[in-house]
Amino acid sequence: MCRFFLPPGYTRTKPMAKPKLGALLPVIDAILSADGSAPVKQRHTAERIFEPLRDDHGYVRRRLDCGLMVLQSRACDIACSW
């Protein structure tokens, strides 16, 4: 502890597990990759991505979880394209 001016914060050793939504990540990525060639006004919103997950794949968790995953995937796509 003496080496640091402030004690270092907690860092995860493994990425956080996503037991419910993790199996549906390929579906979300497929929808977002198909949206890449569509005009901006015709791309799926998080709400429109949530609906087929709920209806076709039986996802019963919160919309917010799906929305956060979509936001994270889009941010990764933007950051990786630089």
Model confidence, pTM: 0.71
Tens-place pLDDT, residues 6-58:
777 888 888 888 888 888 989 999 999 999 888 989 999 999 999 999 999 99
The answer to whether residue 9 sits within a structural domain is no
The answer to whether residue 11 sits within a structural domain is no
The answer to whether residue 39 sits within a structural domain is yes
The answer to whether residue 74 sits within a structural domain is yes
What are the residues whose beta carbons fall under 8 Å from the beta carbon of 49, sequence distance 6 or more?
A: 28, 31, 32, 66, 70
Segments forming the whole domain that contains residue 67:
22-80
The answer to whether residue 1 sits within a structural domain is no
